Amino acid sequence: MKPPRFEYHRPSTRDEVTSLLAEHGDEAKILAGGQSLVPMLNFRLAHPGHLIDINHLEGESTEPEMNDRWVTFDPLVRHVGAERSAIVEEELPLLFEALRYVAHPAIRTRGTIVGSVAHSDPAAEIPAVLTALGGEMVARSARGQRTLHSDDCFVGPLVNGLEQDEWMEVVRFPRRGPGDGFAFEEFSRRSGDYALCGVAAVARPTPGGMSVSLAYLGVGVTPQSVEVSARPMAEYQHPSFLGELEHLVAAELKPYSDIHATGAYKLFLAVRLGTKAARRAVAMGVPG
Amino acid sequence: MTEKRKISLTVNGESREVDVEPRWLLSDVLRHELGLTGTHVGCEHGVCGCCTVLIDGAPARSCLALAVTIDGSEITTVEGIAEEDGRLHPLQESFQKHHGLQCGFCTPGFLMTAMPFWADAEDMTDDELRKEISGQLCRCTGYSGILASIRGAAAIARERQGER
Amino acid sequence: MTTKMFGAPVQRNEDPRLLTGKGRFVDDFESGAYGAAFLRSDFGHARILSIDTSEALALDGVYGVYTHADLEGLLSEPLPLLIPSPNLFAPRTQYALAKEEVCYVGEVVAMVVARDRYVAEDAVGLIFVDYEPLPVASDLEGASLPDAPVVHSDMPDNVSGRATEEKGDVDSAMASAAHVFEWRFEIERAAAMPMETRGVVANYDHRTGSLLLHDSTQAPTGVRGGLAQLFGLDPDSVHVVAPDVGGGFGMKVIQFYPEEVMVAWASRKLGHPVKWIEDRREDFVGSNHERGQVHHIKVAADTDGRILAMDVKFINDAGAYCSYGLIIPIVTAAQIQGPYKIENFRYEYRNIFTNKVPTSPYRGAGRPQAVYVMERVMDKVAGELGIDRAEIRRRNFIGPDEFPYEVGVAWQDGGNVVYDSGEYEKGLDVLLEALDYEAFLTEQKEAREHGRLLGLGFGCYVEGTGIGPYEGAVIKILNDGTVNVAIAVGTQGQGHETVFAQIVADELGVAVDAVKLVSGDTRRLGYGVGTFASRSAVVAGNAVHKAAQTVKLKAAEVASRSLEVAVEDLVFADGRVHVDGAPDVGIPLGQLAIISNPLRYAFGKESEEAVLLAQRAYAGSDRPLPEGTSPGLEATEFFSPTAGVFAFGTHAAIVEIDHDTCNMKILRYVVHHDCGKVINPMIVDGQVQGGVAQGIGGAFFEKFEYDDEGQLTNASFMDFLIPYATEIPALELHHTETPSPLNPLGIKGVGEAGTIPGAAVIANAVSDALGQPIDTMPLSPLKLFELMHPGHQEA
């Protein structure tokens, strides 16, 4: 299990990355944290002719940054940088909670937030969090920059919304709004494994109650959204909510079966975990 | 032959230059180019954790790092943690005291994973400590000896303080 | 008087080395060796039409690409059948490289040797094989049916062996019994998965015609013998070393895996060291598995729950080849009665080939299946008759005064199974008290009223350990007082350098760390069998004990001459031999070693004294080395047990099933265990704890997902789930010590005990929690979901 041959590039500026991609596009892979790419190289499931190593970009931030609207992750912010960030803890409680479920400590020291989004694994936590929060990513190519909403970031399993000559420069999550509540739930076989099913929940105040956006991982080819319409707080805690969510989930999700869970079991988990997450998110929020 | 690149690493406090093919894994370079065979390779896909070393002070999988990409970094391996006089590190001594190893193959990975937090381990809950070392597989011990070893290291360090 | 080391939790001699990165595992040798890689079959079953190696050979840095066509003589024949048996009427072993047919995904087809492993893997990708796919027999039960596809084209069906035995009169007992039940049980494959994969490094020296092989094996002596024969070499020219081995659990005992012979052959052919280190993906499809069995049980009981008769029919998944013969079904059949007295018993098994990785013993070796079946039977009979589950076991136990107990079936060594000693009811009582069983029953009743799914499962077992034929030990006292010990049984983490040192330390009155033990190096001891079947402590331990006694006698004789004191008046303590009652009058052991070897080259003042003492000691004899003595303090002894010895115990788990996830959590796991006299309780605890983790892993996490084409679809640690620390509970361990009467040290083996009852305990606990039978294993949250929500099945 050794990587195949490739041509190695070590750009020191973002512009160099962009021009290397313009040149090698379809044959190139970007190496950031490498925690997903290198296993694929070792298994020889990936055979990039060119590897563009962005770990030596100069002057890159290793911590998230914040403006009035967004918390922004540059390409070399690693999971551990996000985990230890006071900005993330205060402004992105959903991401903060979800990071606990991302693999293991020795993986999170290398893996990057942007890389997790770019890898577009439908069973991974961060794409679901981005989807639930309605975040964005900035794609860059020699043709310029464009912004993709989270709904357009994820196209299929391990397929992101980038063109061949584009790379993902930045990922940003909206800062929490007043009264918002959040919760993340997942079930995996072992600690740190990809989830059989997981869900990121965002509760937002509405007149007289709250609405909840759920984004599921592990149940589709991309993160799957389920919207719970506005209702009074008490309805979430009522036993009948589970049945209501069951209907919603059954209508929206068509989970695939894998070796650890059938579609039916994933649906079951989606209802149970979704109920838990919605209730917790709502309990944390402040109704409008 | 693939063109090699010269990289510079600081390994266990010593500056080392080594010519590497870009595709060589850090684990292979440490073991076969630098002769540091204490770092073990168990799965080469990042799950078992046997190959964990410290890269710039943080535990990381050496099988998931291309050596070329960590050019300029500081690496600490299991060969580099004993005290200067050759005495075992308190964490190493604790593994012996609490039977934290059997075959010893996964052990370097557990030691390196615990390096950043062993001093605080005795105050962690059982669940917290287990979570910290999840990501490291051991097939021999059932983990109980390992948990006791990590938890017991601080006491050994304190005893040594007292001796001084 | 020196403190007794036997029985003390002595810290391990091997640890400082392993903790500082100074261990020496197979990949740590011969850094300049060429790298080898193998092309493996992608098909479960196929005919090889042609192999094109030209592109691979043309790659820069490739030194050799080999297929079966390159092999000659014995090497072109199938690899040896290790354990033949009259009941194994259709054995098949694989070729070192596949000849015309591949019979499982992973079977080696071609070998590449190159500058390094990277290039070797590149070249493997450039070998093109034209296959004609053949029908695949993937499922065990399916493969056993008369119209199944054949695994081997030259066989009419897939049955490689069959055996049956009966004691008493099963049919009559069934006919007159109050209750007769019939059940089916299934248990799937599992595997050892040591953290260190297999690996071999060979260095053939053309100048001397000798082969040095470092091999991550549990049986270096057998490897040496086989390779010598295969290559027509004098066995003394073949040197095999099992260095530090990173776990084996039975999987590394097989001789020969194809790679083992091919690496040695390639080194000889190329005149250069060659190394092959199995990667993890290869390990999944290239290293043996075990466990797959399906049982049909008929059992008769009286109204009190006493088992009157049992009829066991089972099939065993051999995989594609059976180099290890029928050992697994033999052990299952021989051990299924466990600790219970069953007057009328019959078994019949068939060993079935499937187009999957071959099987051979993995920690437990046929017993986990046996215990799972028997313990499910006990729970089910208890349930049918309304008897408490602890009580029904008590009623069926063999009594403490019934030993030696004839089980009435044949054992793997060819003799009959005879239990040497046991206190089964006492063991259960220890466990029940530790559990506070009555309190649990009350708690469970209350929990159920609140809808909680709480369950308890027992697993009682008897484990045959310490089989022959023999092991040996060489002990030598060095001039500095160090005691060198060599044994043939290599270590894979069991602490050989410590436990055997403890035995020597007591005998010779030296410190444990003054004993330096080397294991698994054929130049240090050329005769031995191997580390398997929980036999090292028993067989090698008693050999070490004997050798220590012999060397002690030699030392005493030299001391007796030197001090002019009778042997009986000498005491061995603190590294010296002194006169009883006069501790100051004595000689250090190292000095005795010098005296015993009358030469004049030793350095230092002690040596000078020793030479003078030697002159005195030998003054009365007519030559420097008197007739009947040998130079040095050295002894070689062998121990051959008369029969196996039988450890026992009971495990219990309390589990809870979560309604929201259908996951199982183990709330408590309590162990009673008895392996006779314990040499080192710390190490014994470690063996049991590690074994239990593997038992739990096999029962709930680790599952091979083979498809109908014989493809293993989860051949990685990402999808084959070995538990982390977060999945294994803290264990509660309780020991008793019932010595074996069959060896001087009174010990029994412990290596496999922890793993054996795992499936039984978890199956029984989950069954209790859900109120449903658990008659197929392993379990998973998915399986629990389907049991808990039968209406939610896939459309």
CATH number, residue A248:
3.30.390.50
Q: A37 and A121 share a domain? A: no
DSSP alpha helices (H): ranges in C289-338?
Answer: 327-335
**Is there a domain that residue A2 lies in?**
no
Chain A hits for C716, Cβ within 8 Å: 43
Q: Which among C19, C694, C725 has the least Cβ separation from residue B96? A: C19
DSSP state of C145: S
pLDDT at C48: 98
Which CATH number do you get for residue A105? 3.30.465.10
- Please name the residue ranges forming H helices in C165-257: 170-176, 220-231
**Do A214 and A268 share a domain, yes or no?**
yes
Would you say residue A106 lies in a domain? yes
User: Which residues in C lie closer than 8 A to residue B95 (C-beta atoms)?
Assistant: 15, 19
Assign C557 a pLDDT band (cuts: 50, 70, 90): very high
Which of B48, B96, B103, B118 is the best mutation test for C, with the most CBs of C within 10 A?
B103
Q: What are phi and psi of A217, to 5 degrees?
A: -120, 150
Does residue A60 sit within a domain? no
A48/A71 same-domain check:
no
Same domain, A46 and A14: yes
Smallest Cβ–Cβ distance between A190 and the set C117, C723, C792 belongs to: C723
Q: Where are the alpha helices (DSSP H) in A85-222?
A: 86-91, 93-99, 105-108, 113-119, 125-133, 150-153
Q: What is the interface size between A and C, counted as CB pairs within 8 Å? A: 75
Best A9, A29, A104, A119 member to test B by mutation, with max B CBs in 10 Å, is A104
- Examine the domain organization and report whether A145 and A72 are in the same domain: yes
Q: Residue C795: pLDDT band by 50, 70, 90 thresholds?
A: very low
Spatial contact of C540 and C219, defined as CB atoms under 8 Å apart: no
CA C742 to CA C735: how far, in whole Å?
A: 20
pLDDT: which is higher, C410 or C692: C692
Domain B90-163 sits in CATH at 1.10.150.120
Segment A90-123, tens digit of pLDDT: 999 999 999 999 999 999 999 999 999 999 999 9
Q: Kindly state whether residues A102 and A17 are assigned to the same domain.
A: no
Count CB atoms within 10 A of the CB of residue C154: 8
* Both tokens assigned to A121: 């694994």
Token pair, residue C28, equals 């740590």
Share of chain B above pLDDT 90, in %: 94
Render the burial of A161-181: b for 16+ CB within 10 Å, e for the rest: bbeebbbbbbbbbbbbeeebb
Chain C residue with CA closest to A187: the answer is: C661
Q: Six-digit token pair at C62? A: 């490739």
Sheet holding C582-588, edge to edge: C570-573, C576-579, C582-588
Tokens linked to C536: 């090292």
Interfacial B residues in 82-141 facing C (CB < 8 Å): 82, 88, 92, 95-97, 99, 101-108, 111, 126, 129-131, 133-141
pLDDT in tens, chain A (288 residues): 999 999 999 999 999 999 999 999 889 999 999 999 999 999 999 999 999 999 999 999 999 999 999 999 999 999 999 999 999 999 999 999 999 999 999 999 999 999 999 999 999 999 999 999 999 999 999 999 999 999 999 999 999 999 999 999 999 999 999 999 999 999 999 999 999 999 999 999 999 899 999 999 999 999 999 999 999 999 999 999 999 999 999 999 999 999 999 999 999 999 999 999 999 999 999 987
Nearest-Cα distance to chain C for A252, in Å, is: 17
B65 to A4: CB separation less than 8 angstroms, yes or no: no
Residue C621 pLDDT exceeds 90: no
- What is the rounded (10 degree) CA torsion for C379, C382, C388, C391? -90
Report phi then psi at A69, rounded to 5. Answer: -120, -35
CA distance B105 to B17: 27
Domain ranges of chain B: 5-80, 90-163
Q: Give the span between the Cα atoms of A36 and A46, in whole angstroms.
A: 11
Name which of C663, C705, C793 is nearest A187 (Cβ-Cβ).
C663
pLDDT in tens, C654-710: 999 999 999 999 999 999 999 999 999 999 999 999 999 999 999 999 999 999 999
The confidence score (pLDDT) of residue A287 equals 81
Interface ipTM: 0.98
Contacts of C20 in chain B (CB under 8 A): 38, 78-79, 82, 88, 92
The Cα–Cα gap between C65 and A185 comes to 52
- Residue A102 within any structural domain of the chain: yes
Q: Cβ distance A18 to A142 under 8 Å?
A: yes
What are the tens digits of pLDDT across the range C338-364?
999 999 999 999 999 999 999 999 999
Q: Which domain holds residue A230?
A: 181-284
A206 with A166, same domain: the answer is: no
Instruction: Give me the percent of chain C exceeding a pLDDT of 90.
Output: 90
Asked if residue A255 is part of any domain, the answer here is yes
Domain boundary among A116, A146, A174: A174
Domains of chain C are 32-134+193-286 (3.90.1170.50), 289-467+642-792 (3.30.365.10), 468-639 (3.30.365.10)
Number of domains in chain A: 3
User: Which residues are bridge partners to C680 per DSSP?
Assistant: none
Residue that finishes a domain, picked among A143, A158, A174: A174
Residue C587 and residue C610: Cα distance in Å, rounded? Answer: 9
CATH at residue A17: 3.30.43.10
* Residue A185 covered by a domain: yes
Specify if A1 maps to a domain: no
Clarify whether residues A30 and A112 are in a common domain: no
Q: How many CB pairs under 8 A join A and B?
A: 91
**What's phi and psi for C747, nearest 5 deg?**
-100, 160
Residue A88 lies in a domain: yes
Superfamily of domain B5-80: Beta-grasp domain (3.10.20.30)
- Which of A143, A174, A205 marks a domain boundary? A174
Residues A148 and A194 both lie in one domain = no
- Are A198 and A265 within one domain? yes
Grouping H, G, I as helix, E, B as strand and the rest as coil, residue B106 is: coil
Instruction: Return the structure tokens found at C237.
Output: 């020219």
pLDDT band at C468 (very low <50, low <70, confident <90, very high): confident
